Amino acid sequence: MKAFIFDMDGVIINSEPLHFQVESELAKEKGIALKAGELESYVGVRADEMWASLKAKHRASFDVEELLVEANEKKLTYLNDASIEPIEGIRELLAQLKKKGYKVGLGSSSPVAFIDAVLTAFAIKDQFDIVLSGEQVTKGKPAPDIYLEVAKQLGVEPQDCTVLEDAAHGVQAGKAAGMDVIGFVNPHSGNQDLSKADIVIENISTITIQTEGVSVQN
């Protein structure tokens, strides 16, 4: 049995600009003067870990849990108000995976509520056998916890899994889990080092699913 595991932000939905906007506004409110590209360095990292790091780094004073609630409310409001579609090629890739009998999982650093809202908005929730949030594991990306747990719940070995990621931290997590990793260059995700991925693509439609494995068309 083979499995394909998706990251979500920047892979299924172009949500990084939304995250950057909300987080920049909240950081400014809390007196944090962000440097150019600072938020990009946290792409793929769990929000609680990001805010705890920013708080310590900038010696700011705020409650991380309260800030997370506020950030999630703002992001969910945007999703409810916006008319958006999955990133090009995602629906077709999901169809290929199901046709070839793959187990399909999702491992995202986003909160459960945001993941559920995105998958519901796109009407693709039923395409995934397992959906897991970074909130549900001990350590977030770049630790391999989330991908190892997705594989465990799918009932497959890590070496039989392929991960699709757009962020440096996510690529590191997938490789640390012992999985094949496809790095997706998403310009909306900022400057991400995907060099540790097994292969790097610029278009999801280049991924082809075969019964014996995943291949990429050049």
Pair (9, 57) in one structural domain: no
Average pLDDT, the chain: 93
Average pLDDT over residues 195-200: 97
Per-residue pLDDT reduced to its tens digit, 133-158: 999 999 999 999 999 999 999 999 99
Q: Given the DSSP bridges, would you call strands 103-108 and 3-6 parallel, antiparallel or unpaired?
A: parallel
Q: Is the pLDDT of residue 81 over 80?
A: no
Per-residue pLDDT reduced to its tens digit, 92-113: 999 999 999 999 999 999 999 9
Question: Residue 67 half-sphere exposure, CB side, CA atoms within 13 Å?
Answer: 22
CATH code of the domain containing 191: 3.40.50.1000
Q: Is the pLDDT of residue 83 over 80?
A: no
Find where tokens 């394909």 sit: 4
* Out of 17-21, 71-75, 166-170, 195-199, least confident range: 17-21
Per-residue pLDDT reduced to its tens digit, 31-72: 999 998 899 899 888 889 999 999 999 999 999 999 999 998
Find where tokens 């991380």 sit: 64
Q: Is the pLDDT of residue 30 over 80?
A: yes
Average pLDDT over residues 76-88: 84
The boundaries of the domain holding residue 176 are 3-14+85-216
Q: Is the pLDDT of residue 16 over 80?
A: no
CB 130 within 8 A of CB 108: no
CA distance 136 to 10: 20
175: enclosing H helix or E strand: helix 168-176
Answer positive or negative: Cα dihedral of 218, 8, 161, 93: negative
Find where tokens 């559920």 sit: 116
Pair (144, 116) in one structural domain: yes
Per-residue model confidence (pLDDT) at position 75:
85
CA distance 19 to 24: 8
Per-residue model confidence (pLDDT) at position 82:
73
Pair (168, 201) in one structural domain: yes
As for how many domains the chain has, the answer is: 2
Over 46-91, what HEC string results?
CHHHHHHHHHHHCCCCCCHHHHHHHHHHHHHHHHHHCCCCCCCCHH
Pair (90, 116) in one structural domain: yes
Q: Is the pLDDT of residue 212 over 90?
A: no
Pair (162, 211) in one structural domain: yes
Residue 58: partners with Cβ closer than 8 Å, 6 or more residues away: 31, 32, 33
Higher pLDDT, 17 or 100: 100
Pair (91, 104) in one structural domain: yes
